[in-house]
Amino acid sequence: MFESLFNSLFDSPNSYIANNSISKIWVTGHSLGGAVVEHFMENNIGDQYSAVTFASPQATLDGDDTRILNIGYENDIVYSISGFSDKNNSTTRFFTAIGSEHDVDETGIPTGDFTPKEHSILGYVYSTERILKSQFYNQIKKDSFVVIDQTDKGDDIKDIISSWFGDPDTFILGEDNRDDELIGGQADDFIEALGGNDFIEGGQGNDNLDGGQGDNDVAVFTQILDNYDYRIINENTLEVIHARGNQQDGTDILKNIENINFSNLKLGSLDDVFSSGVEQDSFSSIFGAKPILIIPGIGGTFAADLENGHMDWLLNRGVAPEDLQIDPLVNTALPNLQC
């Protein structure tokens, strides 16, 4: 019955195609429209027909029809309930991470749209465009694990990855002109931010991290800087090797990233690495210990910068040695000081 309602709709384009000698026809639709497209393809078996559907519920049982590509999010209830995950012509591990900030419009007014956010046609338009313009586009396949970022909370992405059995290699594609927090999993991830000042943590494995067009992006690593080496690849690309310690961060490629965080160093400028003139070395050679002399006195405690030959900072009287904060003087953390 459902299919018969669309017979006239199917007949009209077929008549137009036959009368105008058209050799290639693309058909597309979203949700119920996607179901209609699949019925159309089922009734038109020629190779001149191709189709792309978005968030289509299961409307045909022919999952082997290679003329059709079904695209949907695994966390879109309409798509996932269809059972497309085991179809040969459907995406199987695409997700979108949509934050609560999208419950309101740009003026802060609730959208009033009760459609699940993951099923929105605007979301599918955005995600399709985001994949098409990604530098990783040629590497993304229909069975790749892909997370489209539309959230301000990195844990939203992390929760999606960790919930999937096996923690697979993941493509994480950030938003444009927003300050993203992008967190990878335990495998080899491809993380791409765009505009904005982004906070990117590859996690375990050998990851590719790209900060995009922002001017204050930060790459985050889990251990102290002494455990990492670097190798300059070109003027804006750096290889970071977790060479000592537990080495769980692997070897990562950093591109278009301005700063680096270790567990004992915050916001180390990668300009210092690129301008060092040394192509490959340990990070401790750039950000490591500086020759500092701590001088207690009646009026307080001084920190002397022996490298520059002058007294730089007066600490408050009565500060215990373990509480000394040296960062403003030497841009390094207390455990690295040589006193």
Q: Where are the beta strands (DSSP E) in the chain?
A: 25-30, 49-54, 68-71, 94-98, 145-150, 170-173, 181-183, 190-192, 199-201, 208-210, 218-220, 228-234, 237-242, 251-255, 259-262, 265-269, 280-282, 292-297, 300-305, 310-315
Q: Is residue 72 within 8 Å of residue 80, measured between CB atoms?
A: yes
pLDDT of res. 311: 46
pLDDT of res. 107: 53
Confidence grade of residue 116 (pLDDT, cut at 50, 70, 90): confident
Alpha-carbon distances of 316 from 14, 58, 291, 327, rounded to whole Å: 85, 70, 21, 15
Confidence grade of residue 314 (pLDDT, cut at 50, 70, 90): very low
Query: Could you tell me the pTM of the whole model?
Result: 0.78
More confident residue, 202 or 100: 202
Dihedral of the CA atoms 118, 119, 125, 128 (nearest 10)?
Answer: 60
CB-CB neighbours of 152 under 10 Å: 15
Q: Compute the mean pLDDT over every residue in the chain, rounded to the nearest whole number.
A: 80
* % of the chain at pLDDT higher than 90: 40
Segment 63-96, tens digit of pLDDT:
889 999 999 998 898 887 765 556 788 888 899 9
Q: Where are the beta strands (DSSP E) in 84-195?
A: 94-98, 145-150, 170-173, 181-183, 190-192
